């Protein structure tokens, strides 16, 4: 959120302020604005009016209203924010509709940046304006796409994360706002959170009424079906239920021979069950598909060590260390394998190096204590 604020705050350079004369005020339909409140103008808009010959000796108050909306959108912490809100609602009790209409108009006419500012202003003024919040979230998503296209992935992540958060806020306020379910499914898919994507799209199928969107969701659900199974399976394995995880993952391996992540999780499941030969085969498959997967060399080394093949285990750990020279876990594992072949000197080097990298790791501490027995 901080980077998002900084992004919009830079746009304050496009603002200028006019001061009301002392001992005077501006009357806005009975609401008095005194000299303590500076009134903003958007410079680009003012320049455009001058170029088009529309500028007058006195600034049109509609231009000030646009400036207030712009100011709120770019700097929601501006000290006159609450006063500006009062001005807007006194100027037009339907001001939210005005902001939404113009924000969408700017976006649809290709002025995404300006549209974002206006829609953000509406979001700041009233988050419970669900169509305003929804369209602000959509605009953020479009801006994220632009950032990703320009290879500014960090900024893209900021826009996309904010968009996702606002969509979730909308559903907290109105669980029946079906369009948010539709869009959120794509957000979760982008994050590779396939189970969440599935659940949210299934809700859209119950609530949505646009047949084209409904069919799009049905097609998308079919597309991510195997990804959902994979996610369910690896979560079971990571949560210590390898038998259930393997039951889900093994059928996938018959269809996806070169999906290295899948083989890695299957190998991990087999290792948890003590089926080291089966685990070994899957970790070897990972390395065949992705020779630079250091964690696979580590897991293969563990399987070989459990099977008593310590020399081969040391070789596998060494290949992993070549890829990740400062991975204290692999270094420590090789050190323990050296102990098993009575190479205490190399064991000492590895375990001490692992300890120096991470002296707080419990397993490394245990390995160091084990080493002491041989010193």
Residue-wise pLDDT tens digits, 150-200: 999 999 999 999 999 999 999 999 999 999 999 999 999 999 999 999 999
At 121, the pLDDT band (50, 70, 90 cuts) reads very high
Domain 304-375 has CATH 1.25.40.10: yes
Residues 6+ positions from 354 with CB-CB distance below 8 Å: 328, 329, 331, 332, 335, 361, 364, 367
Mean pLDDT of the residues in the chain: 92
Residue matched to tokens 């021979």:
257
At 119, the pLDDT band (50, 70, 90 cuts) reads very high
Q: What is the mean pLDDT of residues 78-99?
A: 93
> What are the contacts of 348-351 at 24+ separation with CB within 8 A?
348/375
Report the percent of the chain where pLDDT is more than 70. 95
pTM for the whole structure:
0.85
Q: What is the mean pLDDT of residues 93-117?
A: 96
pLDDT of 83: 92
Residue matched to tokens 């994979």:
230
Is the Cβ–Cβ distance between 202 and 221 less than 8 Å? yes
Distance CA 138, CA 108 (A): 12
pLDDT per position as a tens digit, 37-83: 888 888 876 545 534 445 444 456 788 899 999 999 999 999 999 99
Question: Where are the domains positioned within the chain?
Answer: 2-125, 304-375
In this predicted structure, the answer to whether residue 89 has a pLDDT above a threshold of 70 is yes
pLDDT per position as a tens digit, 283-340: 999 999 999 999 999 999 999 999 999 999 999 999 999 999 999 999 999 999 999 9
Residues 6+ positions from 372 with CB-CB distance below 8 Å: none
pLDDT per position as a tens digit, 277-291: 999 999 999 999 999
């Amino acid at each position: 959120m901080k980077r998002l604020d900084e992004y919009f705050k830079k746009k304050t350079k496009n603002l200028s302020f006019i001061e009301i004369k002392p001992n005077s005020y501006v009357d806005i339909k009975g609401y008095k604005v005194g000299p303590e409140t500076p009134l903003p103008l958007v410079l680009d808009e003012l320049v455009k009016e001058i170029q088009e010959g529309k500028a007058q000796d006195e600034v049109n108050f509609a231009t000030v209203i646009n400036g207030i909306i712009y100011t709120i959108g770019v700097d929601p912490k501006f000290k006159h924010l609450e006063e500006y809100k009062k001005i807007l609602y006194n100027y037009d009790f339907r001001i939210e509709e005005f902001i939404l209409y113009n924000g969408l108009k700017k976006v649809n006419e290709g002025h995404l940046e300006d549209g974002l500012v206006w829609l953000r202003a509406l979001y700041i003024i009233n988050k419970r304006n669900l169509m305003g919040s929804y369209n602000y979230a959509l605009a953020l998503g479009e801006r994220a796409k632009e950032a990703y296209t320009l290879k500014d992935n960090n900024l893209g992540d900021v826009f996309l994360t904010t968009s996702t958060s606002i969509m979730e806020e909308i559903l907290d306020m109105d669980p029946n706002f079906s369009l948010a379910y539709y869009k959120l499914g794509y957000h979760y898919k982008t994050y590779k959170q396939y189970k969440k994507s599935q659940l949210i799209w299934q809700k859209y199928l119950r609530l949505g009424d646009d047949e084209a969107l409904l069919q799009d969701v049905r097609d998308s659900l079919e597309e991510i079906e195997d990804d959902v199974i994979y996610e369910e399976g690896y979560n079971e394995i990571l949560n210590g239920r390898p038998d259930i995880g393997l039951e889900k993952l093994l059928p996938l391996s018959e269809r996806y021979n070169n999906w290295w992540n899948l083989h890695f999780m299957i190998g991990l499941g087999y290792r948890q069950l003590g089926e080291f030969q089966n685990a070994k085969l899957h970790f070897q498959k990972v390395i065949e598909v992705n020779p630079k997967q250091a964690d696979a060399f580590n897991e293969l080394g563990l399987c070989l060590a459990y099977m008593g093949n310590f020399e081969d285990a040391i070789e596998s750990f060494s290949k992993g260390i070549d890829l990740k020279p400062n991975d204290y876990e692999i270094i420590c594992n090789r050190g323990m394998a050296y102990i098993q072949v009575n190479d205490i000197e190399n064991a000492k080097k590895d375990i001490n190096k692992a300890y120096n990298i991470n002296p707080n790791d419990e397993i490394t501490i245990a390995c160091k204590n084990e080493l002491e027995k041989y010193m």
